């Protein structure tokens, strides 16, 4: 267990790290992009080789805190003059013995960018597989990975009063939430994870984060929040002997039940207008499509909810099993690897699972009335940007604005083309008219839409001057089409283009 972090020591360590220039960009520059990318794949030797025998503070801290390699106590004292090796030991980050500081945790710099600007965090977490030299312990507290960065980028940047982070882990989501939420309650089943959350909040000078021990909604029974975020332990794990149960990724339920339980239960903990965002897996099981199963969870919530669910990828059972067996540090090709994969495949076969989807779930308790948003979609293309929170917030605002308008109201509205939208026209050689007209989005989800000439003409004419209905009537005259029929065709598509960010209400 980590000791309770001393606030003064955390302030000293932050000052030392700042003075050493211990940033994500500086560390990457010290050993190069290829070596930095290799660290994410569990290879630390390229970075260590690039540093060689450098003894400057950045090199010492890179080896000690990023790679998890022992350093001479004197070198650590010189690199961290306020904190020293003894201060790191008091924080539970190293063990000092015979003149050497041996890492017991990692502290990695993490840059971020959101609507309010850019900055740096230092995130402490447990040693990874490379530093341990083998599989992870079951109570491992994960650092900042791809999934946690994704969820951080998805968080709405709009202001809110009370936030809740369920399954806080190292605390990265709580730190991100505090950028726009006045206070955050962070919960986890792991006391060690909550200790890391408190340490990271202090290390980064973030106040207003309270920690509570417990599973899912148990620690906040009877309480409601304006914003809920969760990177829950959603990984589907066989419930059989011999399969490691990692706290950071396994919620102790069968299949995708932990995500289903969250979806059904979160509404009672949302204030009217409150939003919950989470990552999750869902199974295509016994012929029922995974997104349809998520839809059934939403519909069975005792509290009616708006829902926007995006599936980003889908894996077959074998690929899914291999992914998560490797994630635990078991080497491919070993006897143990094959045994664990078989356990996953047996579990999937028993429940007739043919595919596992991964994606994002956004749920909202309507401020008044009944839900008006039910959207379940697959977007497997590469994302156009790395910060989706603003895009999601804009989409919700547009939905709320247009959902109270009938078609006449939409026709009377003025729109402008979003600045990131481009148009591509594909022609067969020798033909004047295009065979395909495509609108492409440079931000958001990077959508690409094939459109007909009428819709392309409308989008091209949306410059914030004339209402959509006037433009459609003019286009109908140019095309020799019936204006009423063209309105009936185009106005629902205008709603869709506005929601997805191709058009913006002027």
CATH of the domain at 291: 3.40.50.150
DSSP state of 66: I
Token pair 């960018």: residue: 113
- Do the domain assignments include residue 133? no
> Is the residue at 136 inside a domain?
no
| 167 and 246 fall within a common domain | yes
Instruction: Check if the beta carbon of residue 130 is closer than 8 Å to that of residue 208.
Output: no
496 domain residue, yes or no: yes
* Co-location of 88 and 160 in the same domain: no
Percent of the chain surpassing pLDDT 70: 99
| pLDDT at res. 385 | 61
- Does residue 488 lie within any of the structural domains? yes
Residue 133 is predicted with a pLDDT of 82
By DSSP bridging, strand 100-103 and strand 94-97 are antiparallel
SS (H, E, C) 471-488: HHHHHHHHHCCCHHHHHH
Taking each helix axis from N to C terminus, what angle separates 290-299 and 257-265, rounded to the nearest 10 degrees? 30
Beta-sheet pairing, 374-378 with 306-315: parallel
> Do 190 and 331 sit in the same domain of this protein?
yes
- How confident is the model at residue 384, as a pLDDT? 61
Are 365 and 313 found together in one domain? Answer: yes
DSSP 8-state class, residue 374: E
Q: At which of 84, 109, 134 does a domain end?
A: 109
What is the model's pLDDT at position 233?
83
Q: 448 and 321: one domain?
A: no
* 359 found inside a domain: yes
How far is Cα 420 from Cα 394, in angstroms, rounded to an integer? 14
**DSSP H helices in 412-452:** none
Is 120 a domain residue?
no
68 and 157 inside one domain: no
Which segments of the chain have a pLDDT < 70? Answer: 329, 331, 333, 384-386
Q: How many CB atoms lie within 10 A of CB 424?
A: 12
Say what the pLDDT of residue 279 is: 95
Strand ranges (DSSP E) for 303-420?
306-315, 353-364, 374-378, 414-417
Where is the domain boundary, 85, 109, 133?
109
Task: Tell me: do 224 and 104 sit in the same domain.
Answer: no
Domain assignment present for 134: no
Range(s) of the domain holding residue 96: 7-109
DSSP result, 212-255: EESSTTGGGTT--EEEEEE---B-----STTS---TTTB-SSST
Based on the domain organization, do 21 and 164 belong to the same domain? Answer: no
Establish if 121 belongs to a structural domain.
no
Tell which of 387, 422, 451 closes a domain: 387
Q: Please name every residue paired with 109 in a beta bridge, in sequence order, or none if there are none.
A: 122
Q: How many domains does the chain have?
A: 3
* Strand locations in 321-446 (E): 353-364, 374-378, 414-417, 421-426, 436-441
Domain CATH for 422: 3.90.930
**Both 306 and 355 in a single domain?**
yes
> Contact 171/209 with Cβ under 8 angstroms?
yes
Domain identity same for 182 and 321: yes
Looking at the structure, do residues 382 and 406 belong to the same domain, yes or no? no
Tell me the two tokens of residue 383: 């994302």
Is residue 422 domain-shared with residue 378, that is, in the same domain?
A: no
């Amino acid at each position: 267990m980590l000791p309770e972090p001393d606030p003064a020591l955390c302030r000293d360590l932050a000052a030392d790290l700042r003075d050493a220039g211990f940033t994500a960009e500086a560390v990457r520059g010290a050993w190069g992009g290829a070596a930095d990318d290799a660290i994410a794949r569990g290879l630390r030797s390229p970075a260590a080789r690039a540093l060689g025998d450098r003894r400057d503070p950045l090199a010492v801290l890179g080896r000690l805190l990023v790679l998890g390699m022992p350093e001479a106590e004197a070198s650590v004292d010189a690199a961290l003059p306020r904190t020293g090796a003894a201060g790191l030991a008091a924080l539970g980050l190293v063990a000092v013995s015979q003149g050497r500081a041996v890492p017991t945790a990692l502290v990695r710099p993490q840059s971020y960018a959101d609507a309010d600007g850019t900055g740096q965090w230092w995130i402490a977490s447990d040693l990874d597989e490379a530093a341990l030299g083998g599989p992870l312990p079951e109570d491992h507290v994960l650092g900042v990975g791809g999934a946690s960065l994704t969820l951080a980028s998805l968080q709405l940047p709009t202001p809110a009063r009370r936030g809740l982070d369920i399954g806080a882990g190292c605390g990265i989501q709580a730190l991100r939430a505090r950028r726009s939420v006045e206070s955050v309650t962070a919960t986890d089943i792991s006391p060690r994870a909550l200790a890391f959350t408190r340490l990271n909040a202090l290390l980064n000078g973030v106040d207003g984060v309270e920690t509570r021990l417990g599973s899912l909604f148990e620690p906040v029974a009877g309480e409601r929040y304006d914003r809920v975020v969760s990177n829950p332990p959603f990984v589907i794990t066989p419930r059989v002997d011999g399969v490691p149960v990692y706290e950071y990724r396994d919620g102790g339920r069968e299949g995708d039940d932990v995500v289903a339980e969250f979806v059904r239960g979160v509404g009672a903990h949302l204030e009217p207008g409150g939003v919950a965002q989470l990552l999750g897996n869902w199974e295509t099981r016994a012929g029922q499509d995974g997104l349809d199963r998520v839809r059934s969870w939403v519909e069975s919530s005792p509290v009616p909810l708006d829902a926007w669910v995006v599936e980003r990828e889908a894996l077959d059972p074998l690929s899914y099993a291999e992914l998560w067996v490797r994630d635990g540090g078991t080497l491919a090709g070993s006897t143990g690897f094959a045994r664990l994969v078989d356990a996953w495949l047996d579990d999937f076969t028993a429940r007739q699972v043919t595919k596992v989807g991964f994606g994002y779930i956004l749920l909202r308790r309507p401020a008044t009335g009944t839900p008006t948003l039910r959207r379940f979609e697959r977007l497997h293309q590469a994302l156009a940007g790395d910060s989706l929170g603003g895009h999601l917030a804009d989409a919700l605002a547009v939905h709320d604005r247009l959902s109270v308008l009938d078609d006449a109201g939409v026709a009377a509205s003025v729109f402008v083309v979003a600045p990131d939208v481009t148009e591509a026209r594909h022609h067969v050689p020798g033909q004047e008219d295009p065979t395909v007209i495509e609108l492409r989005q440079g931000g958001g989800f990077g959508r690409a839409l094939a459109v007909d000439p009428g819709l392309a003409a409308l989008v091209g004419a949306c410059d914030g001057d004339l209402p959509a209905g006037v433009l459609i009537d003019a286009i109908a005259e140019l095309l020799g089409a019936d204006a009423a029929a063209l309105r009936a065709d185009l106005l629902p598509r205008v709603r869709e283009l506005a929601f997805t960010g191709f058009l913006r209400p002027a």
